[in-house]
Amino acid sequence: MTAIDVEALKSELLEEVSSAADLAALDSARVGALGKKGKITAAMKGLGGLSPEERKTTGQALNAVKDAVAEAIDARKADLEAAALQQQLESERLDVSLPVRPESRGKLHPISQTMDEIVAIFGAMGLSVREGPNIEDDFHNFTALNIPAEHPARQMMDTFYLQDENGNPDFEKVLRTHTSPVQVRTMQSEEPPIRIIAPGRTYRSDYDATHTPMFHQVEGLVIDKHITFGHLKGCLQEFCDAYFEVENVPLRFRPSYFPFTEPSAEVDIGCSREGGELKIGHYDDWLEILGCGMVHPKVLQHCGIDPEEYQGFAFGMGIERIAMLKYGIPDLRTFYEADIRWLKHYGFVPLEVASLERGLTP
């Protein structure tokens, strides 16, 4: 066995380590030097053929080479990792001086805004919100409201009748035609005094320029021991002044008929349509905005309230209609077209919540 040229082996291996261009090349240099089939391991195996003296010195020298190569690998690895990090920092640099991209904010739909305003106004008068199911039974939508079977009001309301999956003819569910069933349910489950409003979706099979199959209503109900038509007038006057932001809006109560109220009235507000522009206030024209009346004694009875002891008033209005009046929206159907340009134009800034203290509209 010839003597091993340890120095030559050392410089060859160190050269391989220092010339490794990346971590993968460095790893193959490591395997080639220190691995099971690596050059140092092979040289160690060759020691057996040397004289005892040479074996000792060469063995020590090979161990020193092994340590030197391992150390060089660690150092090269640290260099390569630092270089990779530096390169990543350069290529992923953030320019913090760039202005932020403009953020596109959503808007509140005019229906939501109008509902919030209505809730704020009646809330300040002590009425709180109740909700109920959109799918109703015949009793809550009709019978309790003094609209018995065969009553013409059932046809007038263009009801959507629902079927169960077996086509059972006794299945009597409907899409609610008004939010009145919410008040029926409240009277059934709560004790007077009752002071509530019921805003929500309602459904009628009707579609033209002024009717859509789904629309929104808000109804109000106040039940107590000595409630009069005077309370109704005061409540609606306060509502109209606050909602239209006009002091003492002229109100006109015209006698009308609803099965669930007696007496019943339709309410007009004073307005001017001169020059094609609608103005609300003390002018010589009138505009219908809502219906109302004293709750019919039969309705109180159906809901478990003694009409000898309690009476109350109720009112109802279409939310789209009063939103169109206040915000100058000319066409009902545009409420449901989900046209983003329409929403940007007629929508409201979210989080600027309607309140009487801050002004209803931002």
Output DSSP code: residue 206: -
Q: Contacts with ligand 2U9 in 315-354 (CB under 6 A)? A: 315-318
What H or E segment, with its residue span, contains residue 313?
strand 311-318
CB of 354 to ligand 2U9, least distance (A): 21
Residue 219 in the binding site for ligand 2U9 (CB under 6 A) = yes
Residue 148, CA distances (Å) to 33, 108, 243, 249 in order: 99, 40, 35, 37
CB of 104 to ligand 2U9, least distance (A): 34
Residue 200 in the binding site for ligand 2U9 (CB under 6 A) = no
Q: How far apart are CA 318 and CA 113, in angstroms?
A: 14
Q: Contacts with ligand 2U9 in 225-264 (CB under 6 A)? A: 258, 260-261
Name the segment binding ligand 2U9 (CB under 6 A); options: 14-22, 93-101, 247-255, 284-292.
284-292
Q: Is 90 annotated among the ligand-binding residues?
A: no
CB of 118 to ligand 2U9, least distance (A): 13
Q: How far apart are CA 118 and CA 237, in angstroms?
A: 13
Name the segment binding ligand 2U9 (CB under 6 A); options: 9-17, 128-136, 217-225, 331-339.
217-225
Q: Indicate the residue whose CB is closest to ligand 2U9.
A: 291
Residue 180 in the binding site for ligand 2U9 (CB under 6 A) = yes
Q: How far apart are CA 347 and CA 101, in angstroms?
A: 22
- In sequence order, the 6+-apart residues with CB closer than 8 A to the CB of 96 are none
Residue 311, CA distances (Å) to 140, 223, 262 in order: 19, 6, 11
Q: Please write down the HEC assignment for all residues of 109-158.
A: CHHHHHHHHHHHHHHHCCCEECCCCCEEEHHHHCHHHCCCCCCHHHHHCC
Cβ pair 9, 43 in contact under 8 A: yes
Among 184, 196, 227, 251, binds ligand 2U9 (CB under 6 A): 184
Q: Which is nearer to ligand 2U9, 159 or 180 (CB)?
A: 180
Q: How far apart are CA 99 and CA 72, in angstroms?
A: 47
Q: Contacts with ligand 2U9 in 83-142 (CB under 6 A)? A: none
Binding site: what residues are annotated?
262
What residues line the site for ligand 2U9 (CB under 6 A)? 145, 178, 180, 183-184, 217, 219, 221, 258, 260-261, 290-293, 295, 299, 314-318
Binding site for Mg(2+): what residues are annotated?
262
